[in-house]
Amino acid sequence: KNYEGDQYIELAKKRRVTVRSFKGTTYVDIREFYGDAGDEKPGKKGISLSVEQWQTLVQSASIVDAMVKRAK
């Protein structure tokens, strides 16, 4: 959990996926963090996806995966 008590998934040392609510709307937040361990804060680099946008991304995962494989 982060400093606000939100659960997150760590993608890399300073990148996280967090599900949070803001003004009554739920978002999937993919963001870079800065600061020392235990005192990390969200940076400006990142994106907040609505639940609908997240669902579209998840449904498109196999297409994105195929695009990544072709790009190698």
Q: How many CB atoms lie within 10 A of CB 14?
A: 14
51 lies in some domain: yes
> Which residue segment(s) compose the domain that 40 sits in?
8-71
Q: Are 33 and 14 in contact (CB under 8 A)?
A: yes
Share of the chain above pLDDT 90, in %: 69
The enclosing domain of 14 has a CATH number of 2.30.31.10
pTM over 0.85: no
- Helical packing angle, 61-71 and 51-59, nearest 10°: 60
20 lies in some domain: yes
pLDDT of residue 38: 73
From the list 43, 36, 44, 2, the residue with the least C-alpha distance to 19 is 2
50: three-class secondary structure by DSSP: strand
pLDDT of residue 5: 74
29 lies in some domain: yes
Number of domains in the chain: 1
- Report the distance separating Cα 29 and Cα 2, nearest Å: 13
2 lies in some domain: no
pLDDT of residue 1: 66
pLDDT of residue 3: 64
Q: What is the pLDDT of residues 39-62, one digit of tens each?
A: 788 899 999 999 999 999 999 999
33 lies in some domain: yes
